[in-house]
Chains A and B, each alone.
Chain A
């Protein structure tokens, strides 16, 4: 365990940014967003960034390749630039766990090399959640925000930031800043963990359970009458899917240029009317089916295909952002077991 005074954080970021691109959450007028560190940037105190850090590994829009045509000849050009190591600082544990969900999708064979390369170069520095929000429910999925993982874990306590490297990547980062860190014992961190756990017991969603969901529940849940009421006011926008750290659907499109084509991919949303449209049309005809797809995917289909792991981490972003305030918690309470 190492420590540094919070007031010395600028020095830490300055030092890190000599070697790495460092991204950290900074405040804007009404929220926080990840930004590449520049001298003077201040680490946000906010719990959630509006958009999750999945962008670093699975960007909203990403050029994949170019096709250059000359007469009847087509060149396929790999347009990827070599990637340098980069640091994502201040990732909460729910977001760290979201990468497990994404890894299962993108790194299972055949691995998605675009995602894999960024994962290989990215260093995750997590932070414990000293001040969880009423919208937090990571505990529902067995996630412990007082014990963040990632390549380096950090805790804030009493004007001090504590750092603990967990991986070789983390050790390598620590070696860059070791000159400005001091060694520390675990006492303060343990106290902070205790404090956080006491707060977790006071969270309004602490009793939310996944009972009634999970692998094998498709037949039981698919035709439940509640879907109609739950989805009736859904606008069909993509807010929930785009702020979600685990939503992973994308579309691949071709953009025609003067001498060929740029193939790119961009996030897609199961809430959209054009999602997975095929020659026969969109298989989910109304918003009810699209809405159901999202929650069945998170709570039933994904766990079925991934050893029981849910593809929701309880970060609460959708609770904060949905224009009609409909969300996975309301769905779980309406359809699940023992959620009174």
Chain B
């Protein structure tokens, strides 16, 4: 159950539209089912009342959409941001990717989002409705009149299970109050992979990455991937490629991408959320975050606008590469 209701959010957004503060709202639009929520630009109170949703399936992070949205018009756009989204928001501001003056940021308190894949693992296919019932989700299917009762905590998205912050890093106003930066367990999975032997680790990533279909959803949703022309889409780059030459060539794409966003990735988890093949791509990024923390001191991208990421902020005390990788000079 989310702390703030859909009703309260709509009322506030309607006021914002009526006051003329903003002329549109970037929010979540209801779908055919409970869980297929679409990012949408709402322009009227009627539209908000009819189609706006807030609930356990509003995972989409709107920060990246602000690049396109703020370029469209001189009027302000209101945007709804969950705590994790605000880190991407700040990081994009650090990179001068959109005009802050054109945005009215409404922070919404978040209790974590549910993962429809996890729900379907329990209920199977044929979901006709999902109702929030206190801490439970009542999942109705076309196969049974009675709902399957599921504890929301059992079907939380992976990224929410290791939520790094309930505190908004940026906002103009808050709905539903603010929380704290959490002492998250988000590096546990990375540590497990680090503990593997080289062969095990290779097998692990081969198993995961061999499923990649190179749809580019991870890149296209990533708030840190905002190049106007990605090197992989550019015929003049010499490395444009639309599909893998073999099952495991995808490792190159994903590893290059992880390097490219290292120090800028806020760990929002959108890459893994949208992957149609459910590849845990966020683990690559987290490995970099963990290493950056270890070598240069704790750093959270997007925590503060304008912060210098360790990788672009040389310091004479910086760790020597050979020490970082634990190898002696030859």
Contact surface of A with B, Cβ cutoff 8 Å:
28-31, 33, 46-47, 50-51, 60-61, 131-135, 199, 202-205, 229, 232-233, 235-239, 241-243, 251, 253, 255, 264, 266-269, 272-274, 277, 319-321, 323-327, 329-330, 333
Contacts and interface: CB of A to CB of B under 8 A. Distances in A.
A251 B233 contact: no
Interface in B153-190: none
B37 to A, nearest CB: 6
B245 A329 contact: no
Nearest to A62: B243
A33 to B, nearest CB: 7
B150 interface: no
Interface stretch (B260-268, B274-282, B315-323): B274-282
B314 interface: no
B138 interface: no
Contacts of B121: 30
A51 B31 CA distance: 23
B39 A199 contact: no
A156 to B, nearest CB: 15
Interface stretch (B3-11, B212-220, B283-291, B295-303): B212-220
B248 to A, nearest CB: 13
Given A61-B243, A131-B124, A266-B242, A238 B36 contact: no
29 contacts: A29-B278, A30-B117, A31-B278, A33-B211, A47-B125, A60-B213, A61-B245, A131-B124, A132-B126, A133-B125, A135-B125, A203-B142, A205-B32, A233-B38, A233-B65, A235-B221, A236-B220, A238-B213, A242-B215, A243-B276, A266-B242, A266-B243, A320-B276, A323-B221, A323-B274, A324-B38, A325-B31, A325-B38, A330-B38
A272 B230 CA distance: 12
Interface of B: 31-33, 35-41, 60, 65, 117, 121, 124-128, 141-143, 211, 213-217, 219-221, 233, 235, 240, 242-246, 273-274, 276-278
Nearest to B31: A325
A75 B276 CA distance: 41
Contacts, number: 132
B220 A235 contact: yes
A232 B41 contact: yes
Contact of B36 (A133, A267, A268, A319): A319
B217 A131 contact: no
Contact of A132 (B125, B276, B278): B125
B154 to A, nearest CB: 15
Given A319-B36, A323-B274, A239 B217 contact: yes
Residue in B33, B40, B215, B217 with the greatest tally of chain A CB atoms within 10 Å:
B215
Contacts of A327: 36
A327 B38 CA distance: 10
A239 B221 CA distance: 12
A72 B65 CA distance: 52
A134 B127 contact: yes
Contact of A238 (B33, B65, B216): B216
A243 to B, nearest CB: 6
Contacts of A266: 242-243
Contacts of A61: 243-246
B126 A134 contact: yes
Ranked 8 nearest A-B pairs via Cβ: A323-B274, A133-B125, A30-B278, A266-B243, A325-B36, A321-B276, A235-B220, A237-B217
B33 A204 contact: yes
A7 B185 CA distance: 43
B142 A274 contact: no
Contact of B128 (A131, A204, A255, A323): A204
Contact of A131 (B125, B213, B219): B125
A235 B244 contact: no
B185 to A, nearest CB: 20
A286 B241 CA distance: 21
Contacts of A60: 213-214, 243-244
B213 A242 contact: yes
B94 to A, nearest CB: 22
B125 A31 contact: no
A46 B217 CA distance: 23
Given A134-B126, A199-B142, A274 B233 contact: yes
Contacts of B117: 30-31
A251 B242 contact: yes
Contacts of B128: 134, 202, 204
A213 B124 CA distance: 33
A112 to B, nearest CB: 18
A241 B276 CA distance: 12
Of A46, A235, A321, A329, the most chain B CB neighbours within 10 A belong to A235
Chain B CB within 10 Å, residue with most, of A30, A50, A274: A30
A242 B215 CA distance: 7
Given A31-B117, A60-B213, 19 more contacts: A30-B117, A47-B125, A51-B213, A60-B243, A60-B244, A61-B243, A132-B126, A134-B125, A134-B126, A134-B127, A135-B125, A242-B213, A255-B245, A267-B242, A273-B233, A274-B240, A321-B276, A323-B217, A327-B36
A329 to B, nearest CB: 6
A131 B276 contact: no
Given A134-B126, A319-B36, A272 B235 contact: no
Contacts of B126: 131-134
Nearest to A239: B215
Contacts of A329: 32
A60 B249 CA distance: 13
Contacts of B276: 50, 239, 242-243, 320-321
B235 A274 contact: yes
Nearest to A45: B124
A28 B211 CA distance: 10
Contact of B233 (A29, A132, A268, A272): A272
A323 B233 CA distance: 20
Contacts of B141: 134
Contacts of B143: 131, 199
Contacts of B219: 237
